[in-house]
Chain A
Amino acid sequence: MTDMTLLQSSSEDASTGEDFSASVMSIEIGPAHPAMHGIVRFTTHLDGELIVGMDPEIGYLHRGFEKESENSKWIQVIPYTDRLNYVSPLLNNIGYSMAVEKLYGIQAPPRAEFTRVIMGEISRITDHLTCLGAVAMEIGAFTFFLWFIKAREYLWELVEEMTGARLTTNWTRFGGNHSDLPDGFLGDLADRLAKLKEIMTECDKLLTRNKIFIDRVKDVGAISKEDALSFGFTGPLLRACGIPYDVRRADSYSVYDELDFEIPVGSTGDCFDRFLVRMEEIRQSISIIEQAADKMPEGPFMTDERMMHFPDKKDVYGNIEGLIDHFKLVMEGHQPPAGEIYMPVEGGNGEMGFYLVSDGSGDPVRVRMRPPCFNFVAAMPAMTVGHYVADIVPIFGSVNMIGGELDR
């Protein structure tokens, strides 16, 4: 709304609010528009091809994640989290489970954590691949997009091998994971990562130094450090501005402090920096996965804490404790101790924070997820005004809005 001042000075018709001056044309971009991934509407005001104002409207994909969660048991929320950032569902699973673990005050066993790191980084790579591919496709490099989608396909096959589903993973549990590494998984992983690296090299050659591509994204959608912080940017967009804030390092959750990786930063915060930061993060994620696979410890993949995990069928049928535990877990659900926590994890787009409030019963009082791209979309007017209408495409692409996460 900050940009409406320019328009108000022109001859605005007070009765409709539609007719500005003769030179300003307002055009509805979205909700059904090829450049709007997910569904969002930008009422854009154009002076010729120049954007003079923009009003984003969101909420088209609102499905009441928080309300549904608050009317479910704690464990029943995990499938809902799949649908938040549906490009990297595992990161949401992991984030939510770690939040509940924080509420319990426990940690998953090391093997579970290392597996989570591997799967989480795979999801991060798929997220970045999708985003970069979409940016490239929308400015005409369709080939690049399909190569990245091919690479993403390799990774989703890994996700499928691990969780049984490509998208609706529903994989983590409180205090561990649903399943251990399948047989031969690490071999497949190394194989797929080699293929991914090959595609990365090829695409790097194809696009990163392409003059047309650089012209399209350089100095487009730049945002200053101060504005980025004020808008609450996190993740690749903040790092592109030159601020090395990465929750994996800053809060050092899970086992990230045992792994060696760098945080790439940009300088100007334009679309090209965002592109480079994401490209480099993919490489860093590959390195993290390799390290985690090397360090993978032996041991259980689920905590042995009572009332955290469903007991084995052997115990359910074999002894009274198991039977009672199972009954209570099914009928009453998990009962984390009363309290409130905020658990930030580094999602594909930035800081994904889960704010949970428990009153000690089986029903969550409050499940709130901080959507990273909410802030990005809020900053769209600030990033686009003064650019050409064609620049909406790379800017909005690099923002990587995911409808499921934005509207919840």
Chain B
Amino acid sequence: MSEEISTKETGTPPETGELTTLLKQEFPDDVTDFHAHRDDETVVIKRDALEAVCRFLRDDTRCSFEIMMDLTAVDRLEMNETPRFEMVYHFKSLTHARRLRLKVRLTEDDCKIASIHHLWKAVDWYERECFDMFGIVFEGHPDLRRILMYDEFEGHPLRKDYPIDKQQPLMELKEVEERHVYGRHS
């Protein structure tokens, strides 16, 4: 995908950013793709390398990405790309004033990925949201519950095959133990 974009836009092969070079050098087998569309440095890595790469990005002084800015996924069903899902991690380094986008591609049948909640505290809720919206399972997450939707919600709303006008079944009223019934003689 990256190759297409870059060549489509500029007609030249993708530029290799500084971080891309570094990551390629450190993880030669794991970097599968990269681009720098509109100067957003992007590296695509293999799924199994995620934790190691993230740890490297956080701890290595050449990277020192202190802030885990954003974590989301893209469902590429309608773009006719395979594999279907793409995890997108945005990092920000204050020390080097740099940003990096890390991507991991996941197939539909096996949309599981290692959780990195122990590296940045922000990841905890981001992963919960991603699970809620896309149904991607983060292995090792301590508390993978829905966060924006309610527990009884069926399906994952941001998947492209979830129709926008789909109706959810009505829930039965939950019995709450300490229900306050008002009125003097009740």
Check A338/B5 contact, CB under 8 A, given A230-B120, A232-B68, A353-B69: yes
Partner of A59, one of B120, B150, B162: B150
Stretch at the interface among B16-24, B26-34, B74-82, B107-115: B74-82
Q: How does the 8 Å CB contact mask read for A227-240 relative to B, with 1 for contact and 0 for none?
A: 10111101000000
CA distance A105 to B72 in the complex (A): 23
Shortest C-beta distance, B20 to chain A (Å), equals 16
Asked whether, in the complex, the Cβ of A375 is within 8 Å of the Cβ of B122, the reply is yes
Check A232/B120 contact, CB under 8 A, given A103-B38, A341-B40: yes
CA distance A58 to B150 in the complex (A): 10
Contact residues in B for A250 (Cβ distance below 8 Å): 94, 97
Asked whether, in the complex, the Cβ of A365 is within 8 Å of the Cβ of B143, the reply is no
Instruction: Flag whether A102 is at the interface (Cβ < 8 A).
Output: yes
Partner of B148, one of A62, A71, A245, A366: A62
Interfacial residues of chain A within 317-360, with CB under 8 A of chain B in the complex: 337-342, 344, 351, 353, 355, 357, 359
CA distance A407 to B76 in the complex (A): 23
Check A341/B37 contact, CB under 8 A, given A66-B158, A232-B120, A378-B125: yes
Residue of A nearest to B4 (CB): A338
Interface residue SS majority, chain B: mixed
Contact residues in B for A351 (Cβ distance below 8 Å): 69, 92
State which size class the interface on B falls in: 35 or more
Shortest C-beta distance, A139 to chain B (Å), equals 27
CA distance A371 to B124 in the complex (A): 15
Partner of B37, one of A71, A340, A353: A340
CA distance A342 to B102 in the complex (A): 12
Instruction: Flag whether A178 is at the interface (Cβ < 8 A).
Output: no
CA distance A283 to B42 in the complex (A): 38
Interfacial residues of chain A within 88-112, with CB under 8 A of chain B in the complex: 102-103, 105
Asked whether, in the complex, the Cβ of B70 is within 8 Å of the Cβ of A342, the reply is yes
Partner of B69, one of A67, A102, A232, A337: A232
CA distance A56 to B88 in the complex (A): 25
Asked whether, in the complex, the Cβ of A353 is within 8 Å of the Cβ of B90, the reply is yes
Contact residues in A for B52 (Cβ distance below 8 Å): none
Partner of B9, one of A337, A366, A407: A337
Interfacial residues of chain B within 46-79, with CB under 8 A of chain A in the complex: 66-70, 72, 74-76, 78-79
Contact residues in A for B40 (Cβ distance below 8 Å): 340-342
Q: How does the 8 Å CB contact mask read for A206-239 relative to B, with 1 for contact and 0 for none?
A: 0000000000000000000001011110100000
Asked whether, in the complex, the Cβ of A229 is within 8 Å of the Cβ of B67, the reply is yes
Shortest C-beta distance, B129 to chain A (Å), equals 8
Asked whether, in the complex, the Cβ of A71 is within 8 Å of the Cβ of B164, the reply is yes
Asked whether, in the complex, the Cβ of B72 is within 8 Å of the Cβ of A339, the reply is no
CA distance A243 to B7 in the complex (A): 39
Instruction: Flag whether A68 is at the interface (Cβ < 8 A).
Output: yes
CA distance A43 to B52 in the complex (A): 35
Asked whether, in the complex, the Cβ of A342 is within 8 Å of the Cβ of B99, the reply is yes
Q: Can you report 6 A-B residue pairs in the complex whose CB atoms are below 8 A from each other?
A: A230-B68, A337-B8, A355-B90, A368-B70, A368-B72, A378-B122
